[in-house]
Structure 1
Amino acid sequence: MTRILLKILNGAFIGIAIGYINALIFSVLFQTKYLFPSAPLFVSQFRTTLSATAFSTILWALIGCLFTVTSFIFQIERWSITRQTVAHFAITFVGFTPLALLSGWFPISGFWLFFYVIVFILIYFSIWSLEMLEAKKVVAQINDLLNMQEK
């Protein structure tokens, strides 16, 4: 139990690190005078940039925790890769979407929600494809070992 909690805590710190790096990259790209944790519209909803950054840090930590917790799905060995990926997709989508909206990463509009869903599906299709290729390699290696033992 302690090991799981440590992994989740580590996930929170990874989420914060990724969020901070993204904020830094976008602040540099848009040549802002200060570090902005998200889009200007998001930051304008707070009294200070510091409070927007503090709130963003909490959201980034939650995103890191979400991805850490949902990664445990891939350790359920009795499930197929497809079932693992679909379960991970569904849980992550339901958890990540409100966090992304709260983070101000895209506006709440039909177009952006549609675009977000399409990108999310494409990412997960890519993950599933890579996992299937890796599984096929492992099966081929096991088959080769079994064939060598039979000889």
Structure 2
Amino acid sequence: MLKKACRRGIGGFAFGVLIGQIISIFISVSLGNGEFIPVVPEFRALFSDEIGAVIAQTLLTGVIGTVFAVTSLVFEIEKWGSLKQYIVHFFITSTFWVPIVYLCWMPQDAKGILICFISFLVTYAITWFVQYRVTKDDIRKINEVIRTENNEKEQE
């Protein structure tokens, strides 16, 4: 399990950094007037130089990716029901995602943290719903195969 967590963590870190860079590109396209904005001005103001802010943001987006990748292991704990798995996953990921995203990209006020949390909640709910439907469909297909096999055995 530790080896799997390390592998997922490394891959998750790289994926988180990639997503962070894509977000920087989107921010630059929407706010940069043709210039690349590696970090938003509010985040940049927390550091003595821009490179420090860029490194910190890169590490923080890597942390988000690592957390999501490693906490996905809770879905492999067979003795837990899916509700418990999702609750644990939600609380762990939101504990990291909300403050990091708020710090790196959101307006530094109560409205910013509210928007950040609501966006996480909505995104998580949509993801859960899609995953629920996929799992429900998988279960239906498995049950169909079992019924077919049982009918074939009965006919023999």
TM-score range relative to shorter protein:
0.7 to 0.9
Alignment partners' CA distance in 2, 1:80 and 1:10: 26
With structure 2 as the length reference, what TM-score do the two structures score? Answer: 0.83
Letter in 2 for 1:125: A
Partner of 1:57: 58
Aligned mates of 1:32, 1:54 — CA distance in 2: 23
| Equivalent residue, structure 1, for 2:18 | 17
Structure 2: where are the runs of 5+ without partners? 152-156
Q: Which runs of 4+ in 1 moved over 4 A?
A: none
Structure showing greater Rg: 2
Partner residue, 1:38: 39
Q: Which residue of structure 1 lines up, in the alignment, with residue 134 of structure 2?
A: 134
Q: TM-score, normalised by structure 1?
A: 0.86
Contact between 1:81 and 1:132, CA under 8 Å: does it hold in 2? no
CA distance in 2, matches of 1:142, 1:33: 52
User: For the residues of structure 2 that align with 1:64 and 1:49, how far apart are their CA atoms?
Assistant: 23
In terms of mean alpha carbon deviation, does 112-121 or 51-60 score higher? 112-121
Unaligned runs of 5+ residues in structure 1 are none
- Deviation of 1:70 (Å): 1.3
Counterparts of residues 3-14 of structure 1 (less than 5 Å): 3-14=4-15
Instruction: Indicate the RMSD between aligned Cα atoms, in angstroms.
Output: 1.9
Q: How many residues align?
A: 150
